[in-house]
Amino acid sequence: MKPVVLLLVVLVFSAVVVQAGPNQQTLTAFASWVQQHKLHSKCNLGVFDGQGLGGVARAPIKEGEAIVMIPSSVLVSNYRIKTESFLKDFTEWAGIFSLEPTLVWLLVERNNVNSPWKPYLDILPDSFPTHPLSWTQEELDEAKGTALPDTTNAIREALKRTYEHLLEKLVTPNPNVFPAGSFTLDALIWSYQVVNSRAWLVKGANDELDHVLVPLADMLNHQPGAGTGSLSEDFSYFSINATRDYETGDQVFDSYGPKSNYELLSSYGFVLPENPDDFMTLHFSLKPSNLVHSIVEPILNTVDPNYKSIKIRPNKVPVELLRVFRLSVMEFGELELLNEALQGKGVTLKNELRAFRSAIRSLSGMLQSFDTTIAQDNELLASEGLSLNRRNAIVLRKTQKEIITNVILVLGKMWENILLSGELLGGVAI
C-alpha cells in the first residue's frame, strides 16, 4: 500500500455561506487531534456551497489509492458504547431506535469539556437545516405524494417517545451525568441527525453489523460511483479508496452507496436531479381475506421475505412488480402454475393481461396522488426565489413521478413485445 500523508487541515473557501459549527479555532484543534491519533488523509478540508465541509486533494491522488485511513481506535461504535462506556450497565432502552446508545453518548460527550473526542465533536454542525426533520410542515407538504412527509412525522413522534422514556429512565436518575438543560428533545433530534447523516454500517470483529462514526472520513461528500468506506481485513483501520484520479485542488468524494433521491434526502438532506442510482420503493401486500391470497402469501413470504417492498427503476424490467401482480390476480384454477409465477415467469395470457392492467392501473393511481405534473414541477424549478428545502422537495416528487411514468411506458412496451413475439416472460408460449 502506498504511503498516505498526514492531514493538515486547511480551509479552502469556495462559498460565502458556512454552516454553523466549525470555525478556524475548532478546526485547528481538530487538526492537532488528527495528528495525535494518526488519522491519515490525502486531502485538506474545504467549504462548498450547499455542502458544508468537504475534501480537497492536497496533491494528485491516483485511482486505487487510499484517500483516508482512520485507525479503529477512534471509531465511535454503537456496540462499544452500549457494552463498554458509562452506559454499559443501563438496560432500559426505549427500543425504538437501535442507535439509542450513540444518540445519548453524543449528547453527554458534547458537553464534556474533558472528552477525548471533543475536537471531533466541536466541528460537527450545530444544525442540519436541510434535513427533513428540520423542515417546516409547509416544506414537507411540498413532497406530498412521496413517503417523505409521513415518514418524517413518524420519526419525529418516535424521537419524542424515545426522549420521554430516556428522560424518565436514564436522565432524571443521573443528574451528575446529565446537567440541567443538556438533554432536550431538540438536542436528541440533533443527535439523531448527526448519526443519521454520518454513520457507516460495518461488520466488526464479532462478525455482527454495527453503526460507527468515523472522524474525518465522514466529512467527504457524496458522488455516485466514488469509493465506499470499509474496515480492513484485520479491523485495524477504516479506509476509503479513490475510484478515479484527482488533481491537486479537486474536490474529493466518497459514495454513501447506490441510494435513491428519497434515501439521500431523508438521511442527508440533499437530492441529485440526475441520480443514476435513483429508484422508488413500493409497498405491497396480499389480502388474507382472499382465498387465493391466503394460499399464496405464506409460500411467497418463504421464497422472498422482502416481497412487500418492491423497488422500481427507470428503464428496467420490473420483474418483482410483475411477480406480485401476477400472484395478486391469480385465479384458483391457476394455482397449479404457482411455482412458475413465483419464479417471475408468465403463466397464462389471461393472467398476464390482468397483471399488466392491474400494475399500470396502480401506478397511474400513484401519479394522480401528486398535486402537480412533471411539467409544472419543471416550471417551478426554473423559477427564482425557491428555498433549498422547497427545491429539494420538488426535485424529489418530480423524479419519483418520472420513475413511475417510465415504468408505465416500459410495461406498455413489454406488452407489445409479448403480442409480437407470441411468448410470455420466461419463454412461455401464448
Query: Helix or strand or coil: residue 179?
Result: coil
Mean pLDDT of the region 360-374: 96
Q: Residue 47: what pLDDT?
A: 82
Q: Beta strand 11-13 with 43-48: parallel, antiparallel or unpaired?
A: parallel
Mean pLDDT of the region 362-385: 95
pLDDT, one tens digit per residue, over 247-303 is 999 999 999 999 999 999 999 999 999 999 999 999 988 888 899 999 999 999 999
pLDDT, one tens digit per residue, over 120-173 is 999 999 999 999 999 999 999 999 999 999 999 999 999 999 999 999 999 999
Q: Residue 21: what pLDDT?
A: 61
- β-partners of residue 58 are none
Higher pLDDT, 427 or 176: 176
- The angle that helices 388-421 and 374-382 make with each other, rounded to 10 degrees, is 150
pLDDT band at 11 (very low <50, low <70, confident <90, very high): very low
Domains defined for the chain, CATH in brackets: 1-74+214-269 (2.170.270.10), 76-212 (3.90.1410.10), 280-429 (3.90.1420.10)
Alpha-carbon distance 110 to 199, whole Å?
17
Query: What is the share, in percent, of the chain residues with pLDDT greater than 70?
Result: 95
Q: Which three cell numbers stand for residue 9?
A: 487541515
Mean pLDDT of the region 365-383: 96
Q: Residue 428: what pLDDT?
A: 74
Q: Residue 205: what pLDDT?
A: 67
Query: Helix or strand or coil: residue 312?
Result: strand
Whether 12 has a pLDDT exceeding 50, the answer reads no
Alpha-carbon distance 358 to 137, whole Å?
34
Q: Residue 17: what pLDDT?
A: 31
Whether 103 has a pLDDT exceeding 70, the answer reads yes
Contact between residue 73 and residue 117 where contact means Cβ atoms under 8 Å apart: no
DSSP H or E stretch at residue 280: strand 280-283
Mean pLDDT of the region 98-127: 94
Q: Residue 241: what pLDDT?
A: 96
Contact between residue 210 and residue 202 where contact means Cβ atoms under 8 Å apart: yes
Alpha-carbon distance 165 to 171, whole Å?
9
- Sequence-distant (6+) residues with CB within 8 A of 416 are none
Residue 168 CA: distances (Å) to CA of 106, 164, 231, 279:
19, 6, 37, 41
Q: Residue 339: what pLDDT?
A: 94
Whether 19 has a pLDDT exceeding 60, the answer reads no
pLDDT, one tens digit per residue, over 302-359 is 999 999 999 999 999 999 999 999 999 999 999 999 999 999 999 999 999 999 999 9
